[in-house]
Structure 1
Amino acid sequence: MPRQRGAPSLLAVFAHPDDESLFAGGTLARHATAGARTAVVTATWAATTHRAAELAEALRILGAGTPRLLGYADSRVPESAPDSARFLDVPLDEAVGQLVAHIREFRPEIVITHDAYGGLTGHEDHVHTHRVTMLAFHAVGLERLYPGAGEPWQPSALYLATHPRSVTTAWGGYLPATGKAMLTVPDEQVTATVDVGPWLEQKVAAVLAHRSEVERGAAPGLIAGLSGAERELLLSTEWYIRHNPVSALTALTALTELMA
């Protein structure tokens, strides 16, 4: 991701606690080290849960502030937010409006989120977070959309965390066999390849801060069992697709004016 004078502020939007560290931990740490304001919005899990506490520790390690939780339930874990609906079941307009409020309040120059596949495994919450973030990114600068969610603000760039097809061989030997193909993109679609090697120690520490996921053998648990060399091989690079908002934003502006 390009470095800019003055360290561009960065807001990451991910589905679950631990996604921020797994998908973009190095990028968050890199920007924070350069003096950027960084923050993370997490779509699921309530603030009173153990995973929210683990998220707070991971963000402290990455220099990414305090958790910003939408507070919806994980689609597969009802107890993640027992008093709230599943993220997938919430009216789309409500979810987009909540995220618009966070973006307008933080005023980032860059937003990052899941790619359209939702990462290698295609988790449905990841895919939905991608969709909600795309809509929020295009709405956030338009004053007549979500007027109660703060003053309009348009970030300059949206990056989608992804994996190029060329990494399939390296990753395939470490992920549990599911019978499903890994969801990667053609290498030429990747527009930003970020070397996060200097921040790998922070990234791994943030991943491992999600202790309950380590214990249950989810992705942080797999990483806990890797050697230093394996961690360097698999985790020292992060990949992104830059989304160009110009044409879509122009169309959305025109539609808003027609509806006025």
Structure 2
Amino acid sequence: MLDDFRMMTIHAHPDDESSKGAGSVALYSDAGVSATLVCCTGGEEGDILNPAMDSYEVRHNLAKVRQEELSKAADIIGYERIHYLGYRDSGMPDTDANENPDCFANAPLEEAVGRLVKIIRQEQPHVIVTYPDDQQGYQHPDHLRVFDISLPAWEAAGDPSRFPELGEAWTPLKLYYTTWSRARIEALHEMFLKLNLESPFNEAWFDRPSQDHRITTKIDVSKFSQRRTDALLAHATQVDPDSPFWFGLPSDKSAEAYPWDDYILAFNRVGPIENESDLFQGII
């Protein structure tokens, strides 16, 4: 068991924690790791993609509804705590929401970094998982901002001269970028075709720049595919239960096609590591 170890994931909106690395968190949580989620925004600009949830009441209370959905999903995955960074959803690129002074994308960088540093020092994670530096496939302002604050917070959290009013310094040991690999997309696409199903992966998916050459770490999460599916379904406003993209393959077939979560080890303080199969390699 890994009861003495802690991990933290940093996500932009409610539901991102379920679509990116949920299987890994479930695996480590079941093994005893204390997992903490940082959600940077309330997801106020999210579209309601499930027709069954598209009502006046839901539309006008979306932030509250999404917070309730996140609580359910986090419980399913195995997170012990959720911290909200406290910013408003910035909306998709080139929308009016981008101009809101309270949105995450417009937050002063030092202020946002300080909020994250405070949480890191409070939770004392050994491992942090965040978004990558290269997000050419999906340039949502909030996803870009997650990256912008994560590296400065990683550096500042362990420096007692930075933000001394925000608690005792804590030095995390490893920082990862989560990524959807080209290999995953190809494997899922092939499984759809093998089962004589229409694949949701069109040419645009294969035109996206591949980051596969940067992947350092592959975690076998095949036993947690259904947990990820259940967590996604908890975000009832944000996913259509009939979506072929998320639910077109049975969980067991999805796990058979591609059983891994992929990561890029961006920074570490434990020495050289290659071809990992464990986020805590070099720490334990």
How far 1:75 sits from its partner (Å)? 1.4
* Root-mean-square deviation over aligned CA pairs: 2.9
Structure 2 CA distance for aligned equivalents of residues 53 and 5 of structure 1: 29
1:29–1:202 Cα contact (<8 Å) kept: yes
SS at match of 1:134: helix
Match of 1:207 in 2: 232
1:118–1:124 Cα contact (<8 Å) kept: no
Q: 2:42 is matched with which residue: 41, 45, 49?
A: 45
SS at match of 2:130: strand
Q: TM-score, normalised by structure 1?
A: 0.80
Which structure has the bigger radius of gyration?
Answer: 2
Deviations 1:188-245 (A, max 9, x none): x11100110111121111111111011498xx77313433355325663211111225
1:103 lines up with 2:120 in the alignment: yes
- Runs of 4 or more, structure 1, over 6 Å off, are 77-80
Deviations 1:144-182 (A, max 9, x none): 111111110001110110133333434564246768942
Match of 1:12 in 2: 9
Match of 1:184 in 2: 210
Structure 2 CA distance for aligned equivalents of residues 234 and 125 of structure 1: 30
2:114–2:163 Cα contact (<8 Å) kept: yes
SS at match of 1:214: coil
Match of 1:250 in 2: none
Match of 1:228 in 2: 251
1:174 lines up with 2:200 in the alignment: yes
1:213–1:221 Cα contact (<8 Å) kept: no
1:86 lines up with 2:103 in the alignment: yes
* Partner amino acid, structure 2, of 1:109: H
Match of 1:198 in 2: 223
1:31 lines up with 2:37 in the alignment: no
How far 1:18 sits from its partner (Å)? 1.0
Identity of aligned residues (%): 27
Range that drifts further, 202-211 or 169-178: 169-178
Structure 2 CA distance for aligned equivalents of residues 206 and 194 of structure 1: 19
How far 1:112 sits from its partner (Å)? 0.3
* Partner amino acid, structure 2, of 1:153: W
Stretches of structure 1 lacking an aligned partner (at least 5 in a row): 247-260
How far 1:5 sits from its partner (Å)? 5.5
Q: TM-score, normalised by structure 2?
A: 0.74
Greater helix share, structure number: 1
Range that drifts further, 120-129 or 63-72: 120-129
* Partner amino acid, structure 2, of 1:117: D
Aligned pair in 2 of structure 1 residues 177, 134: CA closer, same or farther (>3 Å)? Answer: same
SS at match of 2:186: helix
1:153 lines up with 2:170 in the alignment: yes
Match of 1:249 in 2: none
Structure 2 CA distance for aligned equivalents of residues 236 and 87 of structure 1: 33
How far 1:21 sits from its partner (Å)? 1.3
Structure 2 CA distance for aligned equivalents of residues 150 and 221 of structure 1: 46
Structure 2 CA distance for aligned equivalents of residues 182 and 142 of structure 1: 38
Aligned residues: 238
SS at match of 1:39: strand
Deviations 1:10-32 (A, max 9, x none): 10001111111111101110110
Structure 2 CA distance for aligned equivalents of residues 98 and 133 of structure 1: 11
Structure 2 CA distance for aligned equivalents of residues 127 and 204 of structure 1: 25
Structure 1 CA distance for aligned equivalents of residues 123 and 136 of structure 2: 25
